[in-house]
Amino acid sequence: MSRPDVVLQQLRNGNSRYASGWALHPNQDAARRHELLHRQQPDAIVLTCSDSRVVPNILFDAGLGELFVIRVAGNVATAGALGSIEFAALELGCPLCVVLGHSGCGAVTAALEGAPPTGHLGEVIDAIRPACAGAQIDVADDPLKAAVRANVELQAAAVAGAQPVLAPLVAAGRLRVVGAYYDLASGRVELAAPQ
């Protein structure tokens, strides 16, 4: 089993523990803090929404130093997010990037509703709008869920295709990009096929 496959299974196992109420809360003590004082070697990168209810280390029952987390409203692959992913993949050797969307996402809701946002939020909403336009919103039972999933696919494709660094890493098999959807009610994360 490849390292990305092993890491994906660890994430699945951790989420299963969390969602079923049997989280282990590993590697969160003083000894672990001291172990990580001068180095880090996370297993996975997680690009997720800034929503306060979506905390990857909790959702995946992961400890300190296990996940390299980037949080942007709507899990948008901004220039800053892509730069952070590049750092984690190149400098820290992370073999896996999970783009994690979630139910009830306010940023995707705003993009669906089409109201013009103020300030810098407009850049985030503009990055989500193509997903809303491309999703099968009209025929979906749950338009917001369909739009969130379409946005995850859009942002995962943006990460996997980002030049000049990430696309070659993906092509060489050094980085796998996977989309995921977190359901707030059940606590379950559904991992999609790799990009």
With beta carbons less than 8 A apart as the criterion, state whether 61 and 8 touch: no
pLDDT tens sequence across 44-99: 999 999 999 999 999 999 999 999 999 999 999 999 999 999 999 999 999 999 99
Sheet holding 67-71, edge to edge: 67-71, 44-48, 96-102, 176-182, 189-194
With beta carbons less than 8 A apart as the criterion, state whether 76 and 68 touch: no
Buried b (16+ CB within 10 A) or exposed e, 90-110: eeeebbbbbbbbbbbbebbbb
Domain count for the chain, please give it. Answer: 1
Q: Mean of the per-residue pLDDT values for the chain? A: 92
pLDDT at 135 over 70: no
We report the CATH number of the domain holding residue 148 as 3.40.1050.10
Q: Coil, helix or strand for 25? A: coil
Q: Are strands 44-48 and 96-102 parallel, antiparallel or unpaired?
A: parallel
Backbone angles phi, psi at 133, to 5 degrees: -70, -35
Single pTM value for the model = 0.94
pLDDT tens sequence across 4-50: 999 999 999 999 999 999 999 888 888 888 888 899 999 999 999 99
What is the Cα–Cα distance from 72 to 189, expressed in whole angstroms? 18
Range of the domain at 20: 3-194
Amino acid letter, residue 108: V
